[in-house]
Structure 1
């Protein structure tokens, strides 16, 4: 177990440390990074494609899209940029900003190495966390002599660090591209893949921070050694943000496919329901036989609720925050999520029409929004009504489940 000196987060490892290697005493500067990981090999596009295919590497954001397929969808020439999405706006997640703050050179290796292989002239890193941005700028300055304001060169690749807003929907891939192109911080209604039309309307490779760190590790280890741990279908390690009613919260590196019960026991989780995937994820009533794989684990969030707080009251707090994060560009998000907040408030008070209206609205919102926010929010709320059905019955019968809302589910402005 390692408690970092430079952040309040705690880092732990089950099995082999890869992404978190060398961080025992805090941020890894360039010298410590190279001592830990060695030099980054110079690989071709074909080599990256082969490695990602053999290792079954999937993106470590919410979608879990295979990296090899994303590479295959890019044209042979004319790739504008490699974009690192560091706009981790999910309130529970800490893994990506932690990598940027403590292991920035690993992320830079993955991004610049791939950019060179693709013939992309620049890397753009979108980040909204001030500590992470400062660490990145210091890291780029360590590895280059040609420095301008927020723009650098590293081994022939321009690197730009772009500040982005911290709103929930602003972290979605298409919203990040809109911001970088000078547009609003919302996902556009059209669902064009970045590999076809990304930055400046040209083909772009975009993925999240952990994906690039994994690419840097894969390039060094090769597919056979990379695949020595984890699932055969999706080998390697993964980063999990552990939160809620646990004795040891923080960021945990584990083999892929690890049993959820192993993780919960390791972090000292209280008995009770578990949320996987954050506030666009789903609730589990029990954890026996559950393994942590994509896409179920989604953005790598495991949150134990415990048994002493009001589950539906906690969900209602998050629902209010999710509604406040609407981009305001479509009815299902702007009006639908607001209606669901009201529905949950009424059912908490024992009003059966609140439950009836929630069921109706949850059937109307999904699949009709301009982005994934209404779908993910509805999934989170529908899952809560199913898993917390006993608590729902108590509220509808007596107007309370007998437990106060303790704020176990973090929202911006509350305690981590």
Structure 2
């Protein structure tokens, strides 16, 4: 899998401001962004509510609701989820390696406002973790800020898996679904969100609701980070206003014509993109993958299905048995043989202990719907196209 380092902006640079000149140390960060203001809990909540700020991970949960769900006292920690589990996504790693102080400003500022004594950063990328540790040497935040190394497996990025890893347990989501705001780090109330969310909070704190709302959708203003990859001439991380047309992003990246995957390997396929705007939660984890027309779509999907099955948390039947069955079903479809894919998809959906089976089923069901003509071609002898590996996998896995 190629490394994505290029950064570009459609419109105004905010979270990527200054990165055209390289990594921002503390001095350059303050010169670009200015000093962070000291805000109260009420001010953070009011700002997040005013602009409809949502988390920038897969769930896109409203930040104001998360803040309101926390108790008035006894908040244990602020957790920055830097375990970017989607193999395509690079936006959070980019922020941690190139603009770590913006992320730290958001997390530390919120910790002071909530009275949380700890800021914990869970990071699985070694370069990102080193960058944050170097940034901490330049700061005096007057509370405990710690960086913890976490595994890079797909399910290890789920919020409850991150909390388990921070407590010294396995990096898998437990079967119980309890909100971190109620029982998070060490079973105490915790505010947890992904890296970009904290960077956006830092921008929002500086600009205020009116300045933040000067671009993007009126319903959810501001900017968003997108990782663009696949059959494109210019892969990378792009900052765009919310609500930007998908076609604009694809043209900007030099994408080849063809189907597009939105949201990564728990996302969905689109046969065409005319008129679609990119907004949350539609764009989910901020991933846009162009497939092109030279590769076999079903072969690409089957590769990813095999990898997703290998990423099972190993704690429920839909993951342990259902995902390998689905991968086998898609291998049969590629070979033009009958399969039970549709029946197995119904058996997996809605029955997992975590979101992995549901997300995988959504990705595969979408592929069956969009690539129906290809299924019929394979049943009749094949589509005649090789599998080029356009969809990236860790380590170039096949």
TM-score by length of structure 1 reads: 0.94
Tell me the equivalent position of 1:27.
23
2:273 to 275, 287, 290: 287
Map of 2:392 onto structure 1: 410
Counterpart CA distance in 2 for 1:98 and 1:366 is 33
1:85 aligns with 2:81: yes
Which position in structure 2 is the counterpart of 1:42?
A: 38
- In the alignment, which of 198, 203, 219 is matched to residue 205 of structure 2? 219
Query: CA offset at residue 8 of structure 1?
Result: 5.0
Whole-angstrom CA distance in 1 between matches of 2:233 and 2:14: 24
- Please say if 1:14 is aligned against 2:10: yes
Determine the structure 2 residue equivalent to 1:196.
182
Q: Using the alignment, how far apart are the partners of 2:44 and 2:91 within structure 1? A: 24
- Contiguous gaps of at least 5 residues in structure 1: 1-6, 145-153
Residue aligning to 2:356: 373
What is the DSSP-based 3-state SS (H/G/I as helix, E as strand, rest coil) of the residue aligned with 1:206?
Answer: strand
Which of the numbers 103, 110, 122 marks the counterpart of 1:107?
A: 103
Aligned pairs (5 A) from 1:111-126: 111-126=107-122
1:288 CA drift (Å): 0.6
| Matched position secondary structure for 2:288 | strand
Q: Distance in 2 between matches of 1:349 and 1:8?
A: 33
Alignment of 1:118-157 (within 5 A): 118-144=114-140, 154=141, 156-157=142-143
Q: CA deviation at 1:70?
A: 0.2
**In the alignment, what sits opposite 2:248?**
262
The residue aligned with 2:219 is: 233
Q: 1:363 aligns with which of 346, 352, 360?
A: 346
Mapped contact 2:316–2:352 kept (Cα < 8 A): yes
Q: State the distance in 2 between where 1:341 and 1:70 align.
A: 36
Distance 1:52 1:141 in 2: 30
Q: 2:90 matched to which residue of 1?
A: 94
Hey, what's the Cα distance between the residues in 2 that align with 1:165 and 1:8?
20
How far apart are the structure 2 equivalents of 1:98 and 1:28? 12
> 1:186 offset after TM fit, Å?
0.4
User: Which whole-Å deviations, capped at 9, do the CAs of 1:173-216 have from their partners, x for residues lacking one?
Assistant: 00000111111110000000000000000000000000000000
Query: Could you tell me how far apart the structure 1 residues matched to 2:254 and 2:111 are?
Result: 41
How far 1:397 moved relative to its partner? 1.2
1:301-340 aligned at under 5 Å gives the runs: 301-340=287-326
Gaps of 5+ in 2: none
Secondary structure (helix, strand or coil) at the match of 1:242 reads strand
Shift of 1:338: 0.3
1:390 corresponds to: 373
Q: How many residues align?
A: 395
Instruction: Provide the C-alpha distance between the structure 2 equivalents of 1:157 and 1:296, rounded to a whole number of angstroms.
Output: 37
Alpha-carbon distance, 1:289 to partner: 1.0
Indicate if the aligned counterparts of 2:4 and 2:90 stay in contact, CA closer than 8 A.
no
Cα distance between partner residues in 2 of 1:335 and 1:369: 11
CA distance in 1 between partners of 2:170 and 2:118 (Å)? 22
Alignment partner for residue 210 of structure 1, among 196, 199, 213? 196
Query: Counterparts of 1:350 and 1:51 in 2: how far apart (Å)?
Result: 54
Please state how far the C-alpha of 1:157 moved relative to its aligned partner: 1.7
Q: TM-score, normalised by structure 2?
A: 0.98
User: What secondary structure sits across from 2:112 in the alignment?
Assistant: helix
